[in-house]
Amino acid sequence: MVNHSPASGRRDSGFAIVSTLLVMVLVAVSLTLVATALSLRLKAFDDGYQALKLTTLADAGLAEALGNLQADPAFPGFDEYDFGGGKVESTVTPMGGRRVEVVVTAKFRGRQRNTSAMVRLSNGNARVLSWQLVRPVEEEDPQDGPTTEPSRASISP
């Protein structure tokens, strides 16, 4: 026989409310975790995109400087200008003999990438001897010295 007393109905209704609230809290926590995971992935994707864009802009700036150096070995570099959604500039510094250093700065969405290439000029050609990514110097710490840390990639002459 089933007991349909008023006290048993109140207990069932209280259990239903507690169960519903528990399920809603679990769903909310699950949705928060999914949203956080997606947000982190989107940020990582955007960071990768910005790094790739900066590399592309720096490479394009170097290629343009090399082309100008082939046409005019006294080419001094170019001032900052808009290119490919970012900004690019270069400086060419004679290093003695037929060698010059080309420094390219690429800027995109508030980030910056500096590259430096050692270039040999001969017979109307400009050949990259070495290339390096140069981290910008933020400040010099008197105890540690400069904070520039180049990473080098060399191309055999």
Residue 10 lies in a domain: no
Residue 69 lies in a domain: yes
Question: Whole domain around residue 71: which residue ranges?
Answer: 37-154
Residue 87 lies in a domain: yes
- Tell me the pTM: 0.64
pLDDT band at 42 (very low <50, low <70, confident <90, very high): confident
Residue 24 lies in a domain: no
Collapsed DSSP state (helix, strand, coil) of residue 108? strand
| Residue range 89-118: mean pLDDT, rounded | 94
Residue 9 lies in a domain: no
Residue 94 lies in a domain: yes
| Domain count across the chain | 1
pLDDT value for 143: 58
Residue 50 lies in a domain: yes
150 pLDDT exceeds 50? no
CATH of the domain at 103: 3.30.1300
Per-position DSSP letters for 3-49, written without gaps between them? ---HHHHHHHHHHHHHHHHHHHHHHHHHHHHHHHHHHHHHHHHHHHH
Residue 28 lies in a domain: no
CA atoms within 13 A on the CB side of 47: 6
